[in-house]
Amino acid sequence: MFKIISIVGARPNFMKVAPINRAFESVEECEHIIVHTGQHYDKNMSDSFFEDLDIAHPKYFLGVGSGTHSQQTATIMIEFEKILDIEKPDMVIVVGDVNSTLACTLTAVKKNVPVSHIEAGLRSFDRTMPEEINRLATDAICNYAFVSEPSGLEYLLNESFPEENIFSVGNTMIDSQHYGLEKLSKREDILSELPDKDYALITIHRPSNVDFEEQLTMLVNVLNDFSKKMHLIFPVHPRTAKNLEKFNLKHLIFDNPNITVYEPLSYMRFLNFMKNAKVVVTDSGGIQEETTALQVPCITLRNSTERPITVEIGTNELVIPKKELIETALEIMLRGEFKKGNIPDLWDGKAAERIRNIILELLKK
């Protein structure tokens, strides 16, 4: 009997681990355990992910909570080491690029437990992003790298990662999307939430966009102007809501009749709005992939992206977050001149099955 632990710590991790969990459920010789670090935790949101994605509830919840990057990383390491001592797993699976990813990798590797990194090799080349540091450090010490797009393979090889331990498997985030779309087709309660007019879906939360008054004010003004031409659906991230309040901008969004504001949405509700949007405006990483798979136009308000395949062949346009450039991108979209994208190879909803098969082969060696 093999024992594998998968780590979830923040919202995107659920989408990446859920299909892996389902893939291992059918393997009798393997016990798959989920550990939730609680790095980002909201009971209602977590419960909705378990329901929407049919993910097993974690065997362990570490309850780390918020804090500085150092506090989170250190606390996760201390608590996760206790789990490793109890469970003695044959492998640890980490996904993505949050603090939990790095903390659990460090802890496992130092205890000689092999680590597989799902979504390895992604690089934004922006070291001001905490996620970039987590990616670099995790890939420097993990044992096996599972890549979701060609750039991941290229960058890992450039960093001298052993080629025989790199596997191109596709994208488990898209596995969850395939699974969610099938469930969504039967959810009239969610489908009925769609507005009866064209709309843009907005998600903005990165510190570079929302932590500085001048930048956030500019974005709010651009969105207000754009809302006169197209209705906006805006699930407001807690960090964004806090800064809208801090900089006295909240009324410009919340009191605008052309903007429908939501608290953070469940996976299925967000998928419904994203699938049917005329355009998505975001600074998220995963949403760039999800919109490409859905073939929905996406404007990403960042200086760089760690997911270049979404720009090269997908529906994503990388737009430096400056007023004139954003307005130009939105005008192009309104004219219907936005590019039509293709779906990358292996983004077929079967990445988790490929990961499971490879990991079982590795464990049997």
Name the strand (E) or helix (H) holding 253.
helix 250-254
| Whether residue 44 has pLDDT greater than 60 | no
> Residues 140, 290, 356, 79: is their CA dihedral positive or negative?
positive
- Are 219 and 128 contained in the same domain? no
176 inside domain: no
- Are 13 and 102 contained in the same domain? yes
Please give the order of strands across the beta sheet that includes 298-301: 259-262, 231-235, 199-203, 279-282, 298-301, 316-319
Q: What is the pLDDT of residues 218-249, one digit of tens each?
A: 999 999 999 999 999 999 999 999 999 999 99
178 inside domain: no
- Are 197 and 321 contained in the same domain? yes
User: What would the DSSP string read from start to end of 94-108?
Assistant: EETTSHHHHHHHHHH
340 inside domain: no
User: What would the DSSP string read from start to end of 280-339?
Assistant: EEE--SHHHHHHHHHT--EEEESS--S-THHHHTSSEEEE-S-HHHHHHHHHHHHTT-PP
- Are 165 and 37 contained in the same domain? yes
**Burial category of 195 from C-beta neighbours within 10 Å (exposed 0-12, middle 13-18, buried 19 and up):** exposed
- Are 217 and 150 contained in the same domain? no
Of the candidates 48, 42, 26, which has an alpha carbon nearest to the alpha carbon of residue 352?
26
> pLDDT at position 64, please?
87
Q: Total domain count for the chain?
A: 2
Q: Which two tokens stand for residue 90?
A: 């044959």
Q: Which two tokens stand for residue 189?
A: 């309660």
- Are 40 and 113 contained in the same domain? yes
108 inside domain: yes
For the entire predicted model, the pTM comes to 0.94
**Active site (catalytic) residues:** 205
CATH of the domain at 287: 3.40.50.2000
Query: Which domain covers residue 63, as residue numbers?
Result: 2-171+347-364
> pLDDT at position 11, please?
84
Q: What is the four-CA torsion angle of 197, 200, 203, 207, rounded to 10 degrees?
A: -140
51 inside domain: yes
> pLDDT at position 43, please?
60
38: left (phi over 0), alpha (psi -120 to 50) or beta: left
Q: What is the pLDDT of residues 196-209, one digit of tens each?
A: 999 999 999 999 99
182 inside domain: no
